[in-house]
Amino acid sequence: MQDGLLGYLLPRSSRSAPPRVDIDDTTLRDGEQTAGVVFANDEKLRIAKLLDEVGVHQIEAGIPTMGGAEKEAVAKIAALDLNCSILAWNRAVVDDIKASLECGVDAVAVSMSSSDIHIEHKLRTNREWVLDSIKTAVEFAKNHNLYVSVNAEDASRTDMEFLLTFARTARDAGADRLRFCDTLGIMDPFNTFVRIKTIIDVTGMDVEMHTHNDFGMATANAIAGIKAGARFVNTTVNGLGERAGNAALEELVMTLKYVEGMDLRLNTGKFRELSEYVANASGRPIPTWKPIVGANLFIYESSSRVAGVLEDAASYEVFSPEAVGLKRRFVMGKYSGVDSLRIKLSEHGITVSDEEAAALVMRLRSKAVSLKRALFDEEILDVYRAERAELGEQAAEAVAADLDLTAEAAAETLAIIEDLTGEVSASELTADMGEEE
């Protein structure tokens, strides 16, 4: 049975996969179309600079035909002289493209619905009008020396024969690539592979993946498209986008590198910085469990995990925290052990014996259970101090009993000796004093 299955499995580096993949990040366009999200122009400029520092191939900067602050932002981004291409989004309307030209961008996306449900109910027109509009818009853009991506909106619900006609029309008018839009996020990786490979085989066009995450498959579908030969992928930082969002830049890039063996050679060490900035600007905090850049990715509580990571980080890490701009941390909680405790105390210059560590761990676990969370450093230190005080009281009582002193006098004696010589136990003190007698 295993031999039979092998014929259906895609190899890690599929023959159909392109020699390279370029990222066209649309955080500033589709990301900002997240309900309730608005970026200030200064924030857009900063995001564009960070994306350029990361090394994306292209930035979809916005929609110039909206005018006002939107057009101003696109123009300012285009004037930054970044290393990446700057693309503006347009309807298949000549006046939209004129507005993009006025911003100084070097590329445009010409977007048009391709599914019958959109053509009939959204555009209220017919297929012929759609094809004519694409042809006119693309020819105008190419006559003005722009790189052109033609977006097939709702491509995943488009009749395949018409989608191929749509693509051929764009190609023959001079379009540089076709953006396959899974607008409602309804594709699965297997159907995605078949569709994208068919488009490439039939039309010979470069294809860009634009995947939504309504069913949690945006990244998987983007990778399926790449395996089928797609050369470009639309992404957003943190997976921002309408409804459930788009394929996340950081997730796609790291999955390609560490799961598929395809290194896009981006500066991934800036991912956490970029994600934090976009999170703050969008008012959408990064969940601690977020793949790739979430804080929990490199936080360890369980004693077995801590021991494994301390012995060899590869035991529980596919890539280092520094690879995405994070740090490894250890916390004390219900499942923590002595290793975690020693690490936390060492951060504050404290060492403890094995007996003390074992006792402290039990008290700390109990406290974590009662609070229903991991402990803050100060809470750990409070328990440590309480444990030390308790041990001190016990030592003082022992000294008082052995030397016939009051408890207060014994405690003072212990404190003075500890200051002078370091930690001392009651048994050591009485033994020493007995020898002097």
For 144-265, where are the alpha helices, taking DSSP H only? 160-173, 189-203, 218-227, 249-258
Residue 50 domain-assigned (yes or no)? yes
Domain's final residue, options 336, 357, 375: 375
Domain identity same for 233 and 368: no
Provide the CATH number for the domain around residue 241. Answer: 3.20.20.70
80 close to 49: Cβ distance less than 8 angstroms = yes
Residue 432 predicted with pLDDT over 70: no
Containing structural domain, residue 401: 383-436
Please give the C-alpha separations between residue 311 and each of 306, 308, 338, in angstroms, as whole numbers: 9, 5, 15
Alpha carbon 437 to its chain centroid, in Å, reads 70
Band of residue 222 on the pLDDT scale cut at 50, 70, 90: very high
> What is the bridge-based pairing of β-strands 22-25 and 58-62?
parallel
Identity of residue 340: S
Is 230 domain-assigned?
yes
Q: What is the token pair recorded at 184?
A: 């409602």
Whether 436 has a pLDDT exceeding 50, the answer reads: no
Q: Are residues 122 and 224 in the same domain?
A: yes
287: in domain? no
Euclidean distance between CA atoms 302 and 103, whole angstroms:
54
- For 350-359, the pLDDT digits (tens) are 999 888 888 8
Q: pLDDT, tens digit, for every residue of 25-41?
A: 999 999 999 999 999 99
Decide if 4 is inside a domain.
no
The answer to whether 152 and 181 are in contact (CB under 8 A) is: yes
Q: How confident is the model at residue 431 (pLDDT cuts 50, 70, 90)?
A: very low
How many folded domains does the chain comprise?
3
Question: Measured between alpha carbons, how far is 245 from 251 in angstroms, rounded to an integer?
Answer: 13
User: Which of 223, 255, 282 is a domain's end point?
Assistant: 282
Query: Do residues 261 and 403 share a domain?
Result: no
| Of the residues 354, 375, 396, the one at which a domain ends | 375
- Coil, helix or strand at residue 371: helix
Q: Which amino acid is at 206?
A: D
For 52, phi and psi rounded to 5 degrees? -65, -40
* Gap between the Cα atoms of 372 and 375, Å rounded: 9
User: How are the residues of the chain apportioned to helix, strand and coil, as percentages rounded to the nearest 5?
Assistant: 55, 15, 30
Name which of 43, 56, 45, 54 is nearest 84 in CA terms. 56
Q: Are 29 and 107 in the same domain?
A: yes
Between 163 and 390, whose confidence is greater? 163
Record the tokens describing residue 396, joined without a space. Answer: 């003082």
Q: Which residues pair with 380 in a beta bridge?
A: none
Q: Which residue has the higher pLDDT, 423 or 384?
A: 384
pLDDT at residue 198 in the model: 97
Question: Does residue 185 lie in a domain region?
Answer: yes
DSSP structure class, residue 236: B
Same domain, 81 and 227: yes
Looking at the fold, whether 88 and 188 belong to one and the same domain comes out as yes
Cα distance between residue 366 and residue 84, in whole Å? 54
Write down the pTM of the prediction: 0.84
| Residues 165, 187 share a domain | yes
Q: Chain-wide mean pLDDT for the chain?
A: 89
Same-domain check for residues 257 and 161: yes
Same domain, 126 and 215: yes
Within-domain flag for 6: no
Asked if residue 144 belongs to a domain, the reply is yes
In a domain, 238, yes or no: yes
Predicted pLDDT of residue 320: 96
Could you tell me if 304 and 402 lie in one domain? no
**Based on the domain organization, do 368 and 390 belong to the same domain?**
no
What pLDDT is recorded for position 425? 46
Check whether residue 365 and residue 402 sit in a common domain. Answer: no
